[in-house]
Structure 1
C-alpha cells in the first residue's frame, strides 16, 4: 500500500522534528503549507490571511525582528523593525525607517501561521504568511539576544497574539 504525502511528511517530522521544513516540503514535492499543516497542534496555529493588516499592525510594535524570505535559491534575512504599511495602488506598501521595505501583495495571503517549535535544538517562534499556492511569502521571527535566547518581550508579544488569534481559523 502506498503512503500518502501527508503520512510521509509526518514520518519525516517525527524523524527530525527540529529540521528545516522547506527540505521536507521539497523532498515530497509539496508546498510548505502541507508541512506546516502536519506540525503538532501545539506547534502551529493557522488563521485566515484576511487578518493580514491586523497582524501586521501588531508586529510593528515588536522592535527588531528577523525578516526571512526562503526560496529554493537562497535564504534572505534582514533584521529590523516591522514598518507600518498601508494599501495603495494594488499593494500593501511599507513605509518608515527600516531596512524592511517594499510592496506586498497581501490579497494573495491565504493563511498566517504562528509557529513555535525547536529548530536545531533551540526554540524558534515565527509568524509565517502563506500564499494561495501554499508557499510562504515571508516569515517574521521573534528576535534573539546575544546569547541566542529569544527576546523575552517579543516572545510575550508572540504568545499573546497567537492566543488572541487561536480559534479564528
Structure 2
C-alpha cells in the first residue's frame, strides 16, 4: 500500500467518522500509528522536531491540566495532572515533582517524532501532543485537560495553540 493510498484511506475514514482512533486505523491498515497521524488532514496535525522534546515538555508543564496517556499491549494508563518538570540525567529525562501523581523517567532519546494533533474525540474537541519512536510506535501522549463538563480548558487550548503555531508551516508553505 503506497503512502498516497494510505493518506486517501485515512482521510476518507476520518471524514466518515471523525472520532475513529488512529490506533484502530493503524491495526486495520497494517501501518504504524505515526503513519496514520502523518496521513491526517493538514488542519489536524503539525509535526515538531523530536530534538525539541525538552522545550515542548517544559511548555506543557505550564498547562493547567493534562491527561498523560501511555499504552502497552496489556494496559492503557491515564494520569490526569499538571505535568511535572524534568531534567536530563543518567541517560533519561527524569520527572522531578514529588507532589505530582506522574513520576518516573522518560527515555527521551527514543523520541523520533512529535505530533501536535487536533482531532475530535466522540464529538468533543480534543488536542494532544503525541510522541513516537523511530518505527512509528506511540511512546506516550499528553492530552489537553478538560473541565467537569468534559470541555477543553480555555487556558490549555491557548497553550496548545501557541505551541502548535510555533511549528506550523507559513501560509502557502509545504507541509
Instruction: Give TM-score scaled by structure 2 length.
Output: 0.88
Is the CA contact 1:9–1:28 (under 8 Å) kept in the aligned structure 2? Answer: no
Match of 1:39 in 2: 40
> How does 1:134-149 map onto structure 2 within 5 Å?
134-149=136-151
- 1:123 is paired with a residue of what secondary structure? coil
Which has more strand, going by share of residues?
1
* Corresponding residue of 1:82: 83
1:8 is displaced (CA, Å) by: 3.3
CA deviations on 1:60-82 (whole Å, 9 max, x unpaired) are 11122110113343321001111
Deviations 1:106-128 (A, max 9, x none): 11111111111111111101111
Q: Is the 8 A contact 2:7 2:40 kept in 1?
A: no
Question: After the TM superposition, which residues 15-54 of structure 1 pair with which residues of structure 2 at under 5 Å, given as runs?
Answer: 15-54=16-55
Q: Distance in 1 between matches of 2:146 and 2:81?
A: 12
- 1:163 and 2:165 correspond: yes
Q: C-alpha displacement at 1:26, in angstroms?
A: 0.9
Which runs of 5 or more residues in structure 2 are unaligned? none
Structure 1: which 5+ residue stretches go unaligned?
A: none
Query: What is the count of residue pairs matched by the alignment?
Result: 169
Where do 4+ consecutive residues of structure 1 move more than 6 Å? none
Please give the TM-score of this superposition, normalised by the length of structure 1: 0.91
Partner of 1:150: 152
Q: Which residue of 1 aligns with 2:111?
A: 109
Partner of 1:67: 68
Q: Give RMSD over aligned pairs.
A: 2.1
The structure with the greater share of residues assigned to helix is 2
User: Residues 144 and 150 of structure 1 are in contact (CA less than 8 Å); yes or no, is this contact kept in structure 2?
Assistant: yes
Residue 30 of structure 1, CA deviation: 1.1
